[in-house]
């Protein structure tokens, strides 16, 4: 690894937008494929390599293939453990993983055991002393409609109360071209009222201004992507104003957006717009496995594309601490950790 690479790896980082099954590495996929030869899955269908692109629809097909491979409690335990250790090895000190609880009748996996298993993996990593604080957001797949959304919120609520602070919030994700946010509003409102933090994928594709406007009224605690909020890309000043007024941090995923073709190229990524505004913008991976990246690479990419100095990059990673969903004492511990590591990173 060259000098630059070492800096970005050593930089302590916060990852706030990581979908569990999208984060499964090529090595873990290899293990799963070996365990399930009968599925006859070709490794090239589970990741989008360097220089390759797919439409967003094609990206959602990739998740379906990974879901076939991850269909038992043992699989969920293995992928969660591997993903956590990989983020830790990449210098991530605080991670919020998110995942959609899934039921698989054939294997006995239930939504509840799915969440329990993710929590078990987080606790196991903690007990092993892996140097990373991990929290969990339960995800709603918008494709599944009102009832499932409400059921998911109830599950999340239950685990928020019983997981010793590990379940901190709720994510709204899934294919943005399916369904409408207004149908999910009661579930999201309930989640908010019971103390779950909300991170919502908003305006990931064009023509969702009405939905974004509606959901911004909640308001969410963070926004995933927000690619089409600003007027230059067909959004509106009033959406931008709402985001700014409520100081809602954005989770921004450069490689994911370019490979998924919602952003034409890196220099046109909306990171520039929000960063120039001085708005809280957190660099994230989205799906490090599917998009063949890691958080160090994402920071390096943002720096080289937008001309950020090492000092700017440090500030960016440090400011992400204020956007986490874990409570204030965790923020203070992380800030202390950043202070302790500063000399080593800039030596
Ligand atoms: P899982 O929830 O199974 O752990 O992770 C995969 C799921 O995350 C996908 O099926 C999809 O619902 C969601 N997801 C992953 N990446 C994206 C993305 O870029 N946009 C949206 N809207 N959803 C995503």
Q: Give the percent of the chain with pLDDT over 90.
A: 93
Instruction: Give the bridge partners for 136, in sequence order.
Output: 97, 167
118 within some domain? yes
CA distance 108 to 103: 8
The dihedral through the CA atoms of 262, 264, 270, 275 has a sign that is positive
Residue 19 pLDDT greater than 90, yes or no: yes
Instruction: Give the bridge partners for 119, in sequence order.
Output: none
Beta carbons within 8 Å of 166's beta carbon, 6+ residues apart = 119, 122, 123, 134, 135, 136, 159
Cα dist. 225→179, 202, 332, 333 in Å? 18, 7, 27, 28
CA distance 164 to 135: 10
243 within some domain? yes
pLDDT computed for residue 327 by the predictor? 98
331 within some domain? no
342 within some domain? no
CA distance 253 to 263: 10
Mean pLDDT of 306-319: 98
Q: Are 63 and 290 in contact (CB under 8 A)?
A: yes
- Position in ligand 1 atom list of the atom nearest CA 20: 4
Q: Are 240 and 231 in contact (CB under 8 A)?
A: yes
Nearest to 254 by CA among 286, 206, 207: 286
Residue among 204, 211, 251, 298 flagged as catalytic = 204
Mean pLDDT of 217-241: 97
341 within some domain? no
Which residue, judged by its Cα, is nearest atom 23 of ligand 1? 174
Domain of residue 276, residue span: 3-322
Beta carbons within 8 Å of 193's beta carbon, 6+ residues apart = none
pLDDT computed for residue 1 by the predictor? 82
Distance 82 CA to ligand 1 centre (A): 18
Q: Are 173 and 138 in contact (CB under 8 A)?
A: no
Residue 43 pLDDT greater than 90, yes or no: no
CA distance 167 to 32: 27
Which residues, judged by CB distance below 6 Å to any ligand atom, belong to the binding site of ligand 1? 19-22, 63, 99-100, 139, 141, 173-174, 176, 201, 204, 256, 286-287
Distance 141 CA to ligand 1 centre (A): 8
pLDDT computed for residue 57 by the predictor? 87
Structure confidence by residue, pLDDT tens digits, 49-63: 888 888 888 888 999
Alpha-carbon 322 to chain mean position = 16
- Element of type H or E holding 189: helix 185-193
- Element of type H or E holding 223: strand 222-225
Q: Which of 114, 117, 145, 173 to mutate to test the pocket of ligand 1 (most atoms within 8 A of CB)?
A: 173
pTM over 0.85: yes
| The dihedral formed by the CA atoms of 271, 199, 135 and 332, expressed in degrees to the nearest 10 | 60
Distance 139 CA to ligand 1 centre (A): 9
**Residue 228 pLDDT grade (very low, low, confident, very high; cuts 50, 70, 90):** very high
Task: State the total domains in the chain.
Answer: 1
Token output for 100: 């959609």
Q: Are 287 and 79 in contact (CB under 8 A)?
A: no
Residue 331: exposure state from Cβ atoms within 10 A (0-12, 13-18, ≥19): middle
204: annotated active-site residue: yes
Structure confidence by residue, pLDDT tens digits, 84-143: 999 999 999 999 999 999 999 999 999 999 999 999 999 999 999 999 999 999 999 999
Q: Which of 24, 63, 84, 145 to mutate to test the pocket of ligand 1 (most atoms within 8 A of CB)?
A: 63
Cα dist. 61→111, 159, 200, 290 in Å? 21, 29, 21, 11
Distance 200 CA to ligand 1 centre (A): 12
347 within some domain? no
240 within some domain? yes
pLDDT computed for residue 182 by the predictor? 95
pLDDT computed for residue 127 by the predictor? 98
Mean pLDDT of 250-255: 98
Structure confidence by residue, pLDDT tens digits, 163-184: 999 999 999 999 999 999 999 9
Which residue, judged by its Cα, is nearest atom 13 of ligand 1? 174
CA distance 266 to 199: 24
- Position in ligand 1 atom list of the atom nearest CA 201: 22
CA distance 296 to 125: 21
Residue 7 pLDDT greater than 90, yes or no: yes
pLDDT computed for residue 49 by the predictor? 87
pLDDT computed for residue 3 by the predictor? 86
In this structure, the number of other CB atoms found within 10 A of the CB of residue 254 comes to 25
47 within some domain? yes
Nearest to 8 by CA among 87, 86, 90, 89: 90
Residue indicated by tokens 């509106």? 236
The enclosing domain of 11 has a CATH number of 3.20.20.140
**Residue 44 pLDDT grade (very low, low, confident, very high; cuts 50, 70, 90):** confident
């Amino acid at each position: 690894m060259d000098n630059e690479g070492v800096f970005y790896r050593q930089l302590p980082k916060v990852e706030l937008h990581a979908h569990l099954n999208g984060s499964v590495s090529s090595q873990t996929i290899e293990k799963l494929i070996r365990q399930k030869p009968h599925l006859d899955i070709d490794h090239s269908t589970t990741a989008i390599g360097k220089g390759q692109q797919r439409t967003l629809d094609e990206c959602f097909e990739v998740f379906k293939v990974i879901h076939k491979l991850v269909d038992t409690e043992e699989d969920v335990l293995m992928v969660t453990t591997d993903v956590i250790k990989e983020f830790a090895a990449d210098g991530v000190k605080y991670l919020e993983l998110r995942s959609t609880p899934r039921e698989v009748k054939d294997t006995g996996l239930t939504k509840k055991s799915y969440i329990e298993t993710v929590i078990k993996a987080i606790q196991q990593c903690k007990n092993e002393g892996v140097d990373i604080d991990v929290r969990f957001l339960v995800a709603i797949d918008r494709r599944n409609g009102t009832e499932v959304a409400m059921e998911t919120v109830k599950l999340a609520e239950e685990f928020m109360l019983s997981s010793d602070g590990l379940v901190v919030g709720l994510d709204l994700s899934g294919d943005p071209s399916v369904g409408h946010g207004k149908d999910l509003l009661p579930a999201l409102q309930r989640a908010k009222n019971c103390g779950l933090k909300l991170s919502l994928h908003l305006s990931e594709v064009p023509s969702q201004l009405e939905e974004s406007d509606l959901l911004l009224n909640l308001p969410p605690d963070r926004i995933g992507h927000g690619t089409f909020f600003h007027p230059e890309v067909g959004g509106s000043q009033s959406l931008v104003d709402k985001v700014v007024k409520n100081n809602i941090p954005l989770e921004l995923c450069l490689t994911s957006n370019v490979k998924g073709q919602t952003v034409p190229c890196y220099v046109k990524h909306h990171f520039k717009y929000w960063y120039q505004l001085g708005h809280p913008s957190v660099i994230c991976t989205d799906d490090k496995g599917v998009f063949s990246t890691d958080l160090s690479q994402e920071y390096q990419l943002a720096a080289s594309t937008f001309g950020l100095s090492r000092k700017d990059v440090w500030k960016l990673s440090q400011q992400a601490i204020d956007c986490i969903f874990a409570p204030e004492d965790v923020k203070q511990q992380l800030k202390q950790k950043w202070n302790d590591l500063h000399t080593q990173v800039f030596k």
